[in-house]
């Protein structure tokens, strides 16, 4: 499971608070995963474990999936705070 050390931190990268950056973030993450899978060619077990974890996060419908944004999920409270933008 050596190859999981490069995949698991991807699940810990938070989505940006600004909704305008969600598309760019999801495209970056999608291309990163695609290029990682094509270049490093992780073993089948590692790929299945990662895809299962990704599926469980995205299936939870909390808007936590980094590949898309669930439109019915509310924005975080800090997304409406204009003081967050200047930091």
Q: Which residues of 34-57 are buried (b: 16+ CB within 10 A; e: fewer)?
A: eebeeeeebeeebeebbeeebeee
C-alpha torsion angle, residues 6, 54, 40, 5 (rounded to 10): 20
Q: Which pLDDT value is given to residue 68?
A: 63
Residues 31 and 11: their CA atoms lie apart, in Å, by 14
pLDDT tens-place values along the chain, 87 residues long: 677 787 878 877 877 877 788 788 888 888 888 888 888 888 888 888 888 888 887 777 555 566 665 555 555 555 555 665 555
Question: What is the extent of the structural domain holding 44?
Answer: 37-62
Domain count, the chain: 1
Q: Which pLDDT value is given to residue 21?
A: 82
pTM assigned to the model: 0.62
Q: Which pLDDT value is given to residue 55?
A: 82
Is 29 inside a domain boundary?
A: no
Is 48 inside a domain boundary?
A: yes
Q: Which pLDDT value is given to residue 60?
A: 74
Q: Which pLDDT value is given to residue 77?
A: 57
If you ran DSSP here, which 8-state letter would residue 1 be given? -
Is 54 inside a domain boundary?
A: yes
């Amino acid at each position: 499971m050596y190859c999981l050390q490069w995949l698991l931190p991807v699940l810990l990268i938070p989505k940006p608070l600004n909704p305008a950056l969600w598309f760019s973030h999801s495209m970056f993450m999608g291309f990163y995963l695609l290029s990682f899978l094509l270049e490093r060619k992780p073993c089948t077990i590692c790929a299945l474990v990662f895809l299962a974890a990704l599926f469980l996060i995205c299936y939870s419908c909390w808007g936590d999936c980094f590949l898309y944004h669930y439109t019915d999920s509310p924005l975080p409270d800090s997304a409406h705070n204009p003081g967050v933008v200047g930091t």
